[in-house]
Structure 1
Amino acid sequence: VVGDGAVGKTCLLISYTTNKFPSEYVPTVFDNYAVTVMIGGEPYTLGLFDTAGQEDYDRLRPLSYPQTDVFLVCFSVVSPSSFENVKEKWVPEITHHCQKTPFLLVGTQVDLRDDQSVLDKLAKNKQKPIALEQGEKLSKELRAVKYVECSALTQKGL
């Protein structure tokens, strides 16, 4: 799971694996989670690897990439800069290290699209939340397997 710092990568993983939403922001260095899912009546164990989005970890992070079966490239739908960085940083980084590994584009924090204080903050910078259609368009442009949106808080889309 890759993407800018504070877009909700860790919350997504914790909420998905434990059904609980973590209340505090703690920047991640590297963390692993495992969860068993049933697919076609067969149990599969998913190894989920969290990564640090902060620039301080740009040299360390790719060490976790070998043997990755699929990447989740995350951005926050209420952070236009994190959306830009999908194209400018994250997809180039994963394709440089793992050329043939597929990825999903994941828009996180969809519950904040309707949060008035978040909308006001964006409006001050002449910005708006990223629309579903923008995510779908970028997903096609970058050849992601799929575009999905979710909220770790409400568990919608997890």
Structure 2
Amino acid sequence: KTSLVVSYTTNGYPTEYIPTAFDNFSAVVSVDGKPVRLQLCDTAGQDEFDKLRPLCYTNTDIFLLCFSVVSPSSFQNVSEKWVPEIRCHCPKAPIILVGTQSDLREDVKVLIELDKCKEKPVSEEAAKLCAEEVKAASYIECSALTQKNLKEVFDAAIVAGIQYSDTQQQPKKSKSRTPDKMKNLSKSWWKKYCCFV
């Protein structure tokens, strides 16, 4: 996950692995000719952060739920752990299911290691079926190393996040808006919060 965010925000691949506690990244992108600031929160997946992680979920417009296509156990956690946790705290926020490390699916060393455990990479078909079952907005496979489909992941997140944010911010009664409220509302439209799980 972290490599995905770093590769997108810096256009470079991180050279060393540092386990994530909680990291925030920011990127400004253009959507329909207007600047959109993405606040990207990279959350920790370890069990010891289970009670802290949901603190990052407040104001999240979109979740990028990541698993490695060469780690069947991370794929299993999508439906068993991550979707229930997200839905408990943010029942309506869209989820984009992201299969990471797609560049390793055909890697001989990885295939040998998986075979030792009698495992195989997660197929694209299985991931798409999972995305349907958990009602994800979409499924995209990518590689942070080669940057294949990296932009597509974030483009899909931006579109889904804007659509969700717009539905959440529609006023119930237009009469109750004051000019100050309008000003604050329009300021918030350019910020989109993405949470990586």
- TM-score category (smaller protein): over 0.9
Q: CA offset at residue 25 of structure 1?
A: 1.0
State the match for 2:111 in structure 1.
119
| Residue matched to 1:93 | 85
- Is residue 2:151 matched to residue 1:154? no
The whole-number CA distance in structure 2 between the counterparts of 1:80 and 1:155 is: 22
SS of 1:25 mapped into structure 2: coil
TM-score, scaled relative to structure 2: 0.75
What letter matches 2:87 in structure 1? T
CA–CA separation in structure 1 for the residues paired with 2:110 and 2:56: 33
Q: How far apart in 2 are the matches of 1:112 and 1:23?
A: 17
Distance of 1:133 and 1:43 partners within structure 2? 35
Aligned length: 150
What letter corresponds to residue 136 of structure 2 in structure 1?
A: A
Matches within 5 A, 1:124-139: 124-139=116-131
Letter of the structure 1 residue corresponding to residue 142 of structure 2: C
Gaps in structure 2 of 5+ consecutive residues = 151-197
SS of match in other structure, 1:154: coil
* Matching residue of 1:74: 66
Secondary structure in structure 1 of the residue aligned to 2:28: strand
Partners of 2:34 and 2:110 in 1: CA distance: 42
Cross-structure match for 1:18: 10
Counterpart of 1:51? Answer: 43
Could you tell me how far apart the structure 2 residues matched to 1:20 and 1:125 are?
Answer: 32
1:33 paired with 2:45, answer no
- Secondary structure, aligned partner of 1:114: coil
Percent of aligned pairs sharing the same letter: 59
The structure carrying a bigger helix percent of its residues is: 2
RMSD: 0.7
The runs of at least 4 consecutive aligned structure 1 residues that moved more than 2 Å come to none
Residue 107 of structure 1 corresponds to 99
Structure 1 unmatched ranges of 5 or more? 1-8
